[in-house]
Homo-oligomer: A and B are copies of this chain.
Amino acid sequence: MKHFIFKLTISVFVWLFSVIIFAQQKPDYVIVIHGGAGVITKKNMTPEKEAAYRAKLNEALETGRKILEKGGTATETVIAVINIMEDSPLFNAGKGAVFTHDGKNELDASIMDGKTLNAGAVAGVTDVKNPITLAYAVMTKSKHVMLSGAGASQFAKEQGLEIVDPSYFYTENRWKSLQKVLQNEKNAEKEKHGTVGCAVLDKYGNLAAGTSTGGMTNKQYGRIGDSPVIGAGTYADNATCAVSCTGHGEFFIRYVVAYTVSALMKYKGLSLEEAGNEIINKTLKDVGGEGGLISVDKDGNIAMPFNTPGMFRGYLKSTGEKKVLIYKN
């Protein structure tokens, strides 16, 4: 009996020890993604549609895992993961982007490297297949941070990026959304979001974040949202965290949302989760700024706060944790 109690005590200690170790273990790498926040509820969803979203989010995460496992960098991973979502008509980025008031697709994207604080962004691109890849080219191959319109396309051509006919971005769903909005603004307000984003911690301890979007259905006058605005839609700093946002862009610009998460950690000493909650569930919620963000900090913690009914999101850690989520809870 004494022997048994001794063995039991030992095994309890071993178990407790392993739990503590596991909980504190900094993962080698982390990927966290979003595919847009908005009025996403079970009611608005069919089982087939839900399965398609889950499969694509999973594919994006697994694409990132392969790269990070082999020692790929955070920026490389952000681009590859976002490319998967840009190429899918499910999301409002690349193929599947929403239409402007004039019936066009104008794409925005940005990327930031937390190690160097280098950044690249493009706004109002109409013929570049993968805007996030162009944002990376702006970061690494130009002396500028932000390019726009025809100039950004010209730069893409000079860099040998894949150019497509603007009709490539057409999807029937998004076209119908525009028609609905044009006929009855209120009824279709729900369908205006769907931005994609990714934040990564790599094996070398470097952070990166990126965001890509078609903006708002029915946007006018060359409107630029938060996605290509460094500090608003995207931010990464190895000293704090990497963040990508999605939501009502005008609010995200005015409240400099992505950078605020970093500033709250750096200057106010908040944790990643506290910082994300403060800006999304307090500051923005109080003023009606709908949306959310995904984030990873330098220790591999993640936070995915949002103040809308749903947000397509998921994460994956080298430690084995993985989740793909859509609704609240």
Contact = CB atoms under 8 A, between A and B. Distances in A.
A56 B118 CA distance: 37
Given A123-B224, A151-B221, A146 B253 contact: yes
B223 A144 contact: yes
A215 B260 CA distance: 26
Nearest to A144: B223
Interface string A215-242: 0000111111100011110010000000
B250 A231 contact: no
B254 A221 contact: no
Given A152-B221, A232-B230, A259-B259, A250 B145 contact: yes
Contacts of A123: 123, 148, 224
Interface stretch (A33-41, A58-66, A77-85, A262-270): A262-270
A254 B118 contact: yes
A263 B124 CA distance: 30
A250 B149 contact: no
A96 to B, nearest CB: 22
A14 interface: no
A154 interface: yes
Give chain A's interface secondary structure class.
mixed
Contacts of A264: 267
Interface residues of A, number: 44
Contact of A147 (B142, B221, B231, B254): B221
A255 B117 contact: yes
A150 interface: yes
A113 to B, nearest CB: 10
A143 interface: yes
A55 to B, nearest CB: 34
A220 B145 CA distance: 11
A75 to B, nearest CB: 14
Given A112-B254, A231-B253, A268-B268, 5 more contacts: A145-B249, A147-B221, A147-B222, A151-B223, A256-B259
- The 6 A-B pairs with the shortest beta carbon distances in the complex, nearest first, are A151-B222, A151-B221, A267-B267, A231-B256, A148-B222, A267-B268
27 contacts: A112-B254, A117-B255, A117-B287, A119-B253, A123-B148, A123-B224, A144-B221, A144-B250, A145-B249, A146-B224, A146-B225, A146-B229, A146-B253, A147-B222, A147-B224, A148-B149, A149-B149, A149-B222, A151-B220, A230-B256, A231-B231, A235-B256, A256-B256, A259-B263, A260-B263, A263-B263, A267-B268
